[in-house]
Structure 1
């Protein structure tokens, strides 16, 4: 095995690399250009906040990074995997095995308990029931809901439902969590507690998070803030060391 010289610094590749990404809808004069040559990287274990007004391209960019859509041009890589080289089955496997999603509307199934909602991604991977139930309990404890495992979404507050959604996003030990306005339906105090939870998850689980938010009070919890305006990045400070 080759040894590195003393003092050599090992540089790890970014978790996400977005290079000259463009996304247009429609053709000709009526085409809508949602993204116009966007480039940036997200480091491993980094919480990056994406800000911008409605129509700036935030959700389009999240959908592309999450493999829910394909760019018109440019490339996106996740941990060195070129997402453009994946077929639909490959993108499905990537979303199932390596990504977690948190949505503004929580996205919980009302007929299932909190623990059962957390277990859904593991069911898709055919994780044995005992292992699935144990991890669901562990994750609910992580987000402060150990005593609410058997309650259904309608019996939980908005903040509690979003905590269940975060636990669900962590179920399959993803490399990256994508959160689209996760505090949009919450009051400011509850919203901040959710962002603080995401911050804590980055530290404790080593996961990378890309979160879209319009709340400037929450951006201070991010390692870095990237601003989109009219499909362009207008602000992208260097990652926090």
Structure 2
């Protein structure tokens, strides 16, 4: 599939229907994902549909095993649904080829994971710069952008430190800066506060909210922490793979 075919053009949305909102970034339509077959089948996501707009932080809430991670993986192109359709920033994700998905993950979608995922031997600045190197951003521009991002997340004075020299909250801030490096339209955060204490976790959620609103991005944040839910603009509730609220 060519990049032109991957992009939903004009005013049409999924299936040719008009987009419900001019700032719509995410459209999930009737998405389902099952693992296994027959009596051993696990229905991770069942017929989920929703949209998310630019400048909106959407929390996806549910118990462990509710389907949050699977849903985020489907939206971010890390997995494929059995049925339904996902469109992100005009890109039809569901049937995209591997090359198109790679471009999507490098430029359109940024990821923040619970486990930080930093490269231990690289400094904070070098970790943030990894996506820019992959995108072949010139060195001078890369260094300038990395410095701005580290300042944005409150770590301007920690550029030379390696992950083991940083606290958990600082490591997650580096991960957030790295996810923002290529200025994505969508930020996907899967339990980003799961390994942090409540106060640090709230500071990370505050940071995500501030970045989303300041930069006009969209963020989908999976969490089961009720203390963080009130920081979201909207809350989607998953139960046994189904969207039951939102």
Separation (CA, whole Å) in 2 of partners of 1:52 and 1:198: 20
| SS at structure 1 position matched to 2:84 | strand
Give the aligned partner of residue 159 of structure 1.
169
Return the match for 1:205 from 170, 190, 215: 215
Separation (CA, whole Å) in 1 of partners of 2:193 and 2:23: 30
Separation (CA, whole Å) in 2 of partners of 1:102 and 1:11: 26
Output one character per residue of 1:31-53: Cα deviation in whole Å (capped at 9) or x when no partner: 21111100111111100000101
Give the aligned partner of residue 228 of structure 1.
238
| SS at structure 2 position matched to 1:84 | coil
Contact map agreement 2:21 2:53 (CA 8 A) in 1: no
Give the aligned partner of residue 184 of structure 1.
194
Give the aligned partner of residue 113 of structure 1.
123
1:207 deviation in Å? 1.2
Return the match for 1:72 from 67, 79, 82: 82
Output one character per residue of 1:55-108: Cα deviation in whole Å (capped at 9) or x when no partner: 110000010011000000000101222112310111111001111100101100
Give the aligned partner of residue 138 of structure 1.
148
Return the match for 2:52 from 42, 65, 69: 42
Give the aligned partner of residue 149 of structure 1.
159
Contact map agreement 1:102 1:179 (CA 8 A) in 2: yes
Separation (CA, whole Å) in 2 of partners of 1:25 and 1:215: 26
Listed as ranges, the gaps of 5+ residues in structure 1 are 1-9, 237-241
Give me the TM-score of the superposition, normalised by structure 2: 0.90
CA RMSD, aligned part only?
Answer: 1.1
Give the aligned partner of residue 18 of structure 1.
28
Contact map agreement 2:25 2:88 (CA 8 A) in 1: yes
Give the aligned partner of residue 27 of structure 1.
37
Instruction: Write out the 4+ residue segments of structure 1 that deviate beyond 2 Å after TM superposition.
Output: none
Q: How many residues align?
A: 227
Return the match for 1:97 from 98, 107, 114: 107
